[in-house]
Structure 1
Amino acid sequence: MKGIDYMIRAMPAILAQVPHARLLIVGDGEFRPQLESLARELGVDEQTCFAGARADVPDMLAVMDVAVLPTICAEAMGRVLVEAAAAGKPVVATRLGGVEDVVRHNETGLIVAPEDADALADSTIRILTDAELASRLGETARKQADNFSLDEMMRQLNRLYASFLRPPAGR
């Protein structure tokens, strides 16, 4: 499970502050029935949309005000974070794995401790209720997204290899 249950648990607090908020869950897996049950149990099922696996990620991101990656297991670097950045979306993500390689706290998004529904709620509310913050985070994220293009990654890798092949100075 990618921590989606923590985001569902955050929804009552989010809805108390931002009643029009909706949770769009993109992706599918074996835990979907439990997540749907949790949403019903917490009374947020009407505000939660389980979109399933989707190929139209840019279209999904286009309807979001904030992208949340509440992962509870370390990932090398979440592709969804780069996709959200490219779409100019502010992000709330948990401090695990390669998240901080993509998301810079208070610059391109907000980073919270894993397994903390209250922190997810607080950070999501902060972005949803502060248009200036959301705009600044999203714009900075969009500018940074180019650093993760295939061309840029290849340039960085080539520079790294070249630095290993260069003879030490003074020889």
Structure 2
Amino acid sequence: MLPRRVVFLASEYPPHVYGGLGTVIAALSRTLAQRSVAVELFVPQQPGYAAAPPGVRLHEIAVEEATSNEEYWQNFCRQAVVRAKEGLAEDIDLVHCHDWMTAPAGIGFRDVLGVPLVFSVHLPQAPGPYRRMEDLGLVQADAVIVNSQAVADEVGERPVGIAPLAILPNGVDTTAYHPAVRPPSREPYVLFVGRLVPQKGVDVLLRAFGAVLRRIPRARLLVVGDGEQRLYLERMARALGLMPQVVFLGWQTGPELVHLYQQAEVLAVPSVYEPFGLVALEGLACGRPVVASRTGGLADIVTDGTDGWLVDPADHLQLAQRLAWLLLDRRLAEGFGSAAVARAAQFAWEAVTARTQRLYADVIDGRRSDGS
């Protein structure tokens, strides 16, 4: 049975987005609503949430003060379940919780509402309290969604009896992210988009860009994002003599971000680890070649030698070689860019959401056939 109304439990919603999760939640809930699936979306209370689209109802949960991140999310889960008991509509067909933070709430909603539970793992956790909450979701759910083969392999090795796994990638909004006319006289630049944290490998990119500048002195590197390493990376760029060819732009969103993708010569995704790699998908959708680390879900997105290249993480010389090649050979870059658009179309949100909806239906039918 196709679901008519589902509950989402999530830690993020625009504009309070700290990674790719909030973007995914907004897009999946919106496209489900467009397919006549009403979404009741529970998130922590924060000021200034974006207005939910038709068919999506936002439930903001006031969370008690906590002395740790784990305690904060336990409080959120407890309060969310209380809200469900106080009068959530009875015609809910399924609960879908996202990542470890909401796993206990998902289990509580399942028990209160008597409906099946789907649990998504977007970023697997290291051993510790977060992993224990994540394992609860893996064991208690009727189905588990992961976004890449790499995450499926990692989760599948857990010493717990997990629910059936389904690999459903994140999607991209190809109406928002698309190619644009590029002036022939443009100044070439490499683009990075992401959090400035060790996981993203920006230090490797800066070392690689130093080698690029020795071959292409007029090249630029635009760094979009912010995070705990920003000051360190700015100092590193100065120490390596990369300024003013490296520009730290902070966070960019909306049309400004899309424009940066569209006009870049190449997108660099030098992550040390990446469970999926939404930024790479956005770059492909804008018709730009992507040079990414051969790690995690990036290998599921970038087709090596067709729409970009995969390089060994931490190998700044290999990264520099691939970036310089695309900066110098515009015909090659444009050929990769055309292939990139076709590749991104396979991840359009409409197609991903249709697959998600079919999984929901299978889970609901499976629960009914079991007599649950």
- 1:143 maps onto 2:366 in alignment: no
Deviations 1:93-140 (A, max 9, x none): 001110011100001101100011101100101111112210111110
Query: 1:86-165 to 2 correspondence within 5 Å?
Result: 86-157=285-356
Report the secondary structure of 2:346's partner residue. Answer: helix
| Cα distance in 2 between the residues matched to 1:48 and 1:26 | 11
- 1:59 maps onto 2:262 in alignment: no
Select between 55-64 and 19-28 the one with higher mean Cα deviation: 55-64
Query: 1:8-19 to 2 correspondence within 5 Å?
Result: 8-19=206-217
The alignment of Structure 1 onto Structure 2 pairs a total of residues equal to 165
- 1:40 maps onto 2:216 in alignment: no
Report the secondary structure of 1:92's partner residue. Answer: strand
Would you tell me which structure has more helix in proportion to its own residues? 1
| Cα distance in 1 between the residues matched to 2:355 and 2:218 | 43
Structure 1 residue runs without a partner (length 5+): 166-171
Residue matched to 1:70: 270
Would you tell me which structure has more strand in proportion to its own residues? 2
Q: Is the 8 A contact 1:36 1:45 kept in 2?
A: no
Report the secondary structure of 2:249's partner residue. Answer: strand
Q: Is the 8 A contact 2:269 2:290 kept in 1?
A: yes
Q: Kindly tell me: are residues 41 and 130 of structure 1, through their superposed partners in 2, closer, same or farther at Cα, counting changes over 3 Å?
A: same
Q: Name the structure, 1 or 2, with higher relative contact order (CA <8 Å, separation 6+).
A: 1
Amino acid at match of 2:275: A
Residue matched to 2:94: none
Amino acid at match of 1:110: W
Q: Is the 8 A contact 1:24 1:48 kept in 2?
A: yes
Please report the RMSD computed on the Cα atoms of aligned residues, expressed in angstroms.
1.9
Residue matched to 1:82: 281
| Cα distance in 2 between the residues matched to 1:5 and 1:63 | 23
Select between 60-69 and 90-99 the one with higher mean Cα deviation: 60-69
Identity among equivalent pairs (%): 38
Amino acid at match of 1:25: V
Tell me the TM-score normalised to structure 1 length. Answer: 0.89
Rg comparison, structure with higher value: 2
Select between 144-153 and 103-112 the one with higher mean Cα deviation: 144-153
Amino acid at match of 1:64: A
| Cα distance in 2 between the residues matched to 1:158 and 1:21 | 45
| Cα distance in 1 between the residues matched to 2:231 and 2:265 | 26
